[in-house]
Structure 1
Amino acid sequence: MILDFTAVRKNLFPASHAAISDWLTFPWHRDRTNRIQAHKAHSSQAIAIDVFGTLKMSTDRDRVLDAIARRVGVAAGGPWSISLEWTDTDRLLGEPRPTQVDALAVGSKAVLVIECKFTEPGGKCSQTAASSSGKPQCNGSYINQVNPSSGVRSRCTLAGKGIRYWEYIPKVFALDPVADYMPCPFAGDAYQWMRNAVLAAAIGEHRNLEAAAVAAFADHPSFPTARKAKRDMIDAGFGGQAAITPISYQEIIDIARHVGLDQELWTDLSAWVSQKIARASSRSFESVVTTG
């Protein structure tokens, strides 16, 4: 099947185009009818490619990522590489379907796992929704329970399936794996942030690098992730150092303009992203829950 990418290209910042080596095989986000969504004004994948695709191809990449690393609390040090729509093929967390992150930045001393949001909130755990049997596999609390579909007893249905989130959660979020939590701390949209935080920890351990999970978001008061970031609610209520560091696209571009040499590039990208945010915020996207 030959696809027409004209509308997608028009919705992506021109300097980011070269970051996509094969437009046909790139893992585009699709809707329920299998249509690529990156042509839409509010596509979170498109704005992620705008920023991180441009950064990937820029001669300022090492300078900017060093500055971002310092901003989120890990060691600077290049050379840096960026992978868009990176998948954990090593299955470090034991997931049957490995987590795919919007961008992965790897330097000589640290790795950044980057989840990107535009107008949509974080994703929720599917185990509390009705399964094919008509019953949810989890009651929404982290307590000793039996999965009605499999008969497996565990505090977390996913742990009962061999998924290793709760092997890393105690280190990342300072939660007690043998305590009861009602409701589960990750029953809502904290689930997606948790997955990225524990994946960052697993990658850092596996590669012997410092690691950080980053929530990149479009900063506008009408967007759910931006509101949560402003109120320190992305991983609120957990002890220890913040597990996820929110940083807006606007701040990322400001960092690039501050440390980068290609001022024209970053000025143009700033205007492009600002225009996208203005267009998206002028309409009601509060009900958008897909990642575009």
Structure 2
Amino acid sequence: MTSDFGAVRENLFSASHGAIADWTAFPWHRDRTNRIQAHKVHSSQAIAIDVFGTLKMSTDRDRIFDAIAERAGVAPGGPWAITLEWTDTNRLLGEPRPTQVDALAVGSKSALVIECKFTEPGGQCSQTTALSSGERQCNGSYADQINPRNGVRAHCALTGKGIRYWEYIPEVFKLDPGADHTPCPFKGDAYQWMRNAVLAAAIGKHRNLEAVAIAAFADHPGFPTAQKVKRGLVDPGYTGRAAVTPISYQQIIAIARQVGIDEELWNRLSAWVDHKIAKAASVHSRKSAIQLREAPGF
């Protein structure tokens, strides 16, 4: 374990280290062998800590989050409190396992629900995955159907399990919950961004704050989320305004340079992040090439 933490520290920007109060208790992302993954150059958790851990510890924190809030269309106003790997212990969405987001920033007027991506795409809904029986709990549409696993009739298999996404979706995405939608508006990785958007709405209601979801991503042409941002994280036809505001790590650091005072810190963080993105892009490119060569019919 000690050797794990040594490798992790080397892969984290030094100014972010203080954001982790207890390195043993921190909810590190782990692989199937329980090994901490933040030592890897392409670790999404590591680059999130690089940036948001540094912001958390910086004396420029309030100025920077005020600027990010304004960019996302919610009210600025500190002091801002930043929690890395925040867990919804209130289970505001009724999920059986509490939602965990990469960072939550809470000011005096607004909250920012921050999901971070590096070289990976967004997560997808599991309800359309085939069961061992070959059946699927959802047919891929938002339409009246019966879940073969539990026998519950609902438009959404998750609603049938008591999960409250569709209590917030109508307002956030301007969708009629009584109408059929074929295919589901949140197929593919739009599902994860929907979850973050409705979680933000739930937090805003619970805390009486303005709230919005932020997609923090590494902007590189070879990375899936960066590509998705250019097409739209969620179909803009489903919402009156952007339900999720994408801001790249590079843009966040540019904001820090513009409004912050500690120019030397942000220049160092910029160089660190740029170097990490370049290294991760090289690894990602090699893996993609290997997968292509091994694909059937190549």
Q: TM-score range by the shorter chain?
A: over 0.9
Map 1:104-253 → 2, pairs under 5 A: 104-253=104-253
2:119 touches 2:284 (CA, 8 Å); kept in 1? no
Q: Deviations over 1:33-70 (max 9, x none)?
A: 22211011100000000000000000100010001000
User: Per the alignment, in what secondary structure is the counterpart of residue 95 of structure 1?
Assistant: coil
Which residue identity lines up with residue 172 of structure 2 in the other structure? Answer: V
Q: What percent of counterpart residues are identical?
A: 76
Specify the alignment match of 2:295 in structure 1.
none
Give the paired residue count.
287
What TM-score does the superposition give when structure 2 sets the normalisation length?
0.93
Whole-angstrom CA distance in 2 between matches of 1:88 and 1:134: 33
2:216 touches 2:249 (CA, 8 Å); kept in 1? yes
Whole-angstrom CA distance in 2 between matches of 1:71 and 1:56: 19
Whole-angstrom CA distance in 1 between matches of 2:132 and 2:45: 30
1:104 touches 1:114 (CA, 8 Å); kept in 2? yes
CA RMSD of aligned residues (A): 1.3
Whole-angstrom CA distance in 1 between matches of 2:118 and 2:281: 10
Q: CA separation of 1:235/1:62 partners in 2, compared to 1, >3 Å: closer, same or farther?
A: farther
2:4 touches 2:39 (CA, 8 Å); kept in 1? no
Which residue identity lines up with residue 181 of structure 2 in the other structure? Answer: Y
- How far residue 5 of structure 1 moved from its aligned partner, in angstroms, is 0.6
Whole-angstrom CA distance in 2 between matches of 1:3 and 1:144: 53
User: Per the alignment, in what secondary structure is the counterpart of residue 237 of structure 2?
Assistant: coil
Whole-angstrom CA distance in 2 between matches of 1:261 and 1:61: 10
Whole-angstrom CA distance in 2 between matches of 1:64 and 1:253: 9
2:190 touches 2:233 (CA, 8 Å); kept in 1? no
- Higher helix proportion, which one? 2
Whole-angstrom CA distance in 2 between matches of 1:179 and 1:132: 31
Specify the alignment match of 1:96 in structure 2.
96
Specify the alignment match of 1:290 in structure 2.
none
Specify the alignment match of 1:31 in structure 2.
31
Map 1:36-75 → 2, pairs under 5 A: 36-75=36-75
What TM-score does the superposition give when structure 1 sets the normalisation length?
0.95
1:86 touches 1:100 (CA, 8 Å); kept in 2? yes
Q: Structure 1 stretches of 5 or more lacking a match?
A: 288-292
Whole-angstrom CA distance in 2 between matches of 1:233 and 1:65: 22
Specify the alignment match of 1:7 in structure 2.
7
Q: Deviations over 1:152-202 (max 9, x none)?
A: 000000000000000000000001101111111112100000000000000
Whole-angstrom CA distance in 2 between matches of 1:189 and 1:130: 18
Whole-angstrom CA distance in 1 between matches of 2:100 and 2:172: 19
Specify the alignment match of 2:261 in structure 1.
261
Q: Structure 2 stretches of 5 or more lacking a match?
A: 289-298
